[in-house]
Amino acid sequence: MSTAGLAQSPSTRAVPEASGAPVSAGVQIEHLSVRFGSRTVLDDLSLTIRRGELLTVLGRSGCGKTTLLRFIAGFIEADGLVGSLTVAGRNLTHVPPHRRNLGLLFQSYALFPHLTVFENVAFGLRARRVPGRDIARRVAEALKLVQLGDAGHVMPAQLSGGMQQRVALARALVIEPDVLLLDEPLSALDANLRASVRSELKALHERLPDLTIVCVTHDQDDALMLSDRTLLMRDGRIAQLGTPQELYDTPGDAYVARYLGAANLLPPNVAFALGDPRHDERERLACLRPERLRIVPLGEGALHGTVVSVEWYGSVLSVPVMLDAMPDEPLLVTMQRGHGLTPEKGMRVSLRYEVDDVVLVHP
């Protein structure tokens, strides 16, 4: 396994800009459509993934994200399949899966229970008829990379779920893939272990800055924490593609705004003061994130209403406020406990925010 990237500090890691990186450096998908019978799963999708980029593919069940991953892997057999795939400069559109040099890690780790950790990791190398002396070295490097350097002799059943996932990850990495494909890699883990493994995946990506990773997930935290860029899909199409911060701060429409976190959607004439040119906007809605709102004494903010309830989530309070100007649906406010005015159910309050925190989005 190449370890050239291990010497690079995470602080110096950078993903090449799209305009400066050749298409051959990563993954290029052009005009991909997948149809099963009368059902279209992917609809004329084109996508460029840069070399060394970690792209998360996000979306609800049935949006086509797993189909996209399986197309890259070569596992799609559909009666309606159109499009092309180029990886690291090679046209793989009609290349069988075992000749694509891709690392795969799926939701079920699919470890061989009768083989040791070493033999599980070595399996792909033996299938490629790699010499034994090279197998030992590369397996040792892969296990060290996932912090399991002393576990080669252990059987999978003796390992925790998180450690089994590391073994599966080492097996995917040991073949030195052009692209690492991850399909819901954290969904089988409990919340605490999920956060730990997520951090480990992020650190691994920083240690291997030339490895292109495509990670399919339904979890917005995975996308926000892991990604260089996030692809949010909807009904077989790209809803929005950009950095996690871009999708969160400047969503293109209400679907994107709501998927990447809680979002208050208001008529522009409520969010913007009279005289602001956006006040009379008719085609879009005003999006305001809950953490951008501050609860202040009545009369000291732009919006006025009544506290519906106060829900406590550790250090964070979640406070729905029913506005006088919007009596049908409350606005959600999230705030740090002990910061600012302490709200109580039924309290009359005002809400304050910066007008620059309001983003116009399509419905």
What residue ranges do the domains of the chain occupy? 4-256, 274-361
CATH (residue range 274-361): 2.40.50.100
> Residue 339 carries which DSSP code?
S
Is the pLDDT at 2 greater than 90, yes or no?
Answer: no
Decide: pTM greater than 0.85: yes
- Looking at residue 185, its pLDDT comes to 84
Is the pLDDT at 158 greater than 60, yes or no?
Answer: yes
| Cα R_g (the chain), whole angstroms | 24
Rounded to an integer, the average pLDDT of 235-260 is 96
- Distance from C-alpha of 309 to C-alpha of 39, rounded to nearest angstrom: 44
Q: Which of 340 and 243 is assigned the larger pLDDT?
A: 243
- Looking at residue 69, its pLDDT comes to 96
In sequence order, the β-bridge partners of residue 56 are 215, 230
Strands 54-58 and 229-234: parallel
Q: What is the pLDDT of residues 4-56, one digit of tens each?
A: 333 333 333 443 333 344 444 699 999 999 999 899 999 999 999 999 999 99
Q: What percent of the chain has pLDDT over 90?
A: 75
Cβ contact 99:110 at 8 Å: no
* pLDDT, the chain, mean: 90
Cβ neighbours of 278 (radius 10 Å): 15
Determine the length of the chain. Answer: 363
Q: What percent of the chain has pLDDT over 70?
A: 93
Confidence of residue 110 (pLDDT cuts 50, 70, 90): confident
| Dihedral sign computed on CA atoms, order 72, 86, 208, 227 | negative
Cβ contact 116:152 at 8 Å: yes
- Looking at residue 148, its pLDDT comes to 93
Cβ contact 189:162 at 8 Å: yes
How buried is 107 (Cβ within 10 angstroms: 0-12 exposed, 13-18 middle, 19+ buried)? middle
CATH architecture of 4-256: 3-Layer(aba) Sandwich (3.40)
- The four Cα atoms 167, 168, 170, 172 give a dihedral, to 10 degrees, of 170
- Looking at residue 25, its pLDDT comes to 62
Q: What is the pLDDT of residues 277-311, one digit of tens each?
A: 999 999 999 999 999 999 999 999 999 999 999 99
- Distance from C-alpha of 181 to C-alpha of 102, rounded to nearest angstrom: 7
- Looking at residue 13, its pLDDT comes to 40
